[in-house]
Amino acid sequence: MSETKITVIYDNPTDPSAFESAYEAEQLEAARKIPGQVRFEASKVWPKEDGSPAPAYRMIDLYYPDYDAACVAVTTPEAGAFFEALGRLSTGGVRILMSDVEVAQQ
């Protein structure tokens, strides 16, 4: 069985400064505490070439050994704390995907 990845895509917040001031403590640190991860990535989306915002703002990727492990992880109290903060901070919208990693990083 291949890895499973949970991707959180934050759309552009209504107040980027407020989002950034809370992001590290309320999202990154909370995401790192969700158990069972084999890898963690966080990224900020580049603006378009003309300087205008892209449709997405930031992303967090949480990698798990398999689908079952990812499903267990999202039911933990640590995940609950992460998702509660996510609801408060993602003022511009958010998308969450769970996907099968078909080609893993070498």
DSSP 3: -
Could you tell me if 88 and 9 are in contact, meaning their C-beta atoms sit under 8 angstroms apart? no
Domain ranges of the chain: 4-100
Return the CATH fold of 4-100. Alpha-Beta Plaits (3.30.70)
Residue 38 has pLDDT above 90, yes or no: yes
Gap between the Cα atoms of 28 and 86, Å rounded: 10
Element (H, E) at 83: helix 77-89
Locate tokens 């919208």: which residue?
93
| Structure tokens given for 100 | 């099968």
Q: What is the pLDDT of residues 40-98, one digit of tens each?
A: 999 999 999 999 999 999 999 999 999 999 999 999 999 999 999 999 999 999 999 99
Cα 65 from Cα 51, distance rounded (Å): 38
pLDDT computed for residue 103 by the predictor: 75
| pTM (2 d.p.) | 0.91
